[in-house]
Amino acid sequence: MALKIPPLFLTLLFMLLAWLLAQLLPDVVLVVPLPFSLLVAMAGVVVCGAGVVKFRRLGTTMNPIDPTGSSLLVTTGIYRISRNPMYLGFLFLLMAWSLYLGLLTALLVSPAFVLYMDRFQISIEEQALASRYGDAYQDYMCRVRRWL
C-alpha cells in the first residue's frame, strides 16, 4: 500500500468515506455555519497551493509516488511551518467537507486520514529524503513538525 495511491486520490477516497459514514451512521449533528466550512476549505487550498508553488518555483518534483526523484530539499516558505503542507492542505479540505456534512461520524475520518498518511506515505517519503539529504534532512526534521 505504501506510496501506491496518489495522496489527492486518497483524499477523495476519505471524503467519500466521510459521506458514506454520514449516510449510514447518522448520529450527533454538528451545527457548523457554511462560512466556517468554506474558511477551512480555503485554508486548505492556500496551504496546499503554497507547497505546490514553492516546489514549482524551485523546480523539484511533486511526485509523491517516487520521493527519490527529489532534486532539492525545500525548507523555506511554507516548509518552515510544516514538512508536509500539501498533505496538511488535503486534511483541511477533508475537515471542511466533514464539517459541511455536519455529522460527528464524518469528522472522525480526519484522524484516520492522518494515521494512514503517516504510515503509508509520509514515513516512507521521510526515509527516502533522509537517505538522500542525510544530516540536512535530520536537522530539518528536528526544526519543523510533520504536520503543524
- Residue 10 domain-assigned (yes or no): no
- Is the pTM here over 0.75, yes or no? yes
- Phi then psi for residue 103, to 5 deg, are -130, 140
Cβ atoms within 10 Å of 24's Cβ, excluding its own: 8
Task: Assess whether pLDDT exceeds 70 at residue 45.
Answer: yes
- Residue 21 domain-assigned (yes or no): no
- Range(s) of the domain holding residue 120: 30-61+72-143
Q: What is the pLDDT of residue 68?
A: 79
Bridge partners of 103, per DSSP, are: 29
Q: What is the pLDDT of residue 67?
A: 83
Q: What is the pLDDT of residue 137?
A: 97
Round to whole Å and give the CA distance between 14 and 75.
28
HEC per residue, the chain: CCCCCCHHHHHHHHHHHHHHHHHHCCCCECCCCHHHHHHHHHHHHHHHHHHHHHHHHHCCCCCCCCHHHCCCCCCCHHHHCCCCHHHHHHHHHHHHHHHHHCEHHHHCHHHHHHHHHHHHHHHHHHHHHHHHHCHHHHHHHHHCCCCC
Q: What is the pLDDT of residue 1?
A: 58
- Residue 133 domain-assigned (yes or no): yes
Q: What is the pLDDT of residue 95?
A: 97
Q: What is the pLDDT of residues 65-79, one digit of tens each?
A: 888 788 899 999 999
What domain count does the chain have? Answer: 1
Q: What is the pLDDT of residue 105?
A: 86
- Residue 1 domain-assigned (yes or no): no
- Residue 3 domain-assigned (yes or no): no
- Residue 111 domain-assigned (yes or no): yes
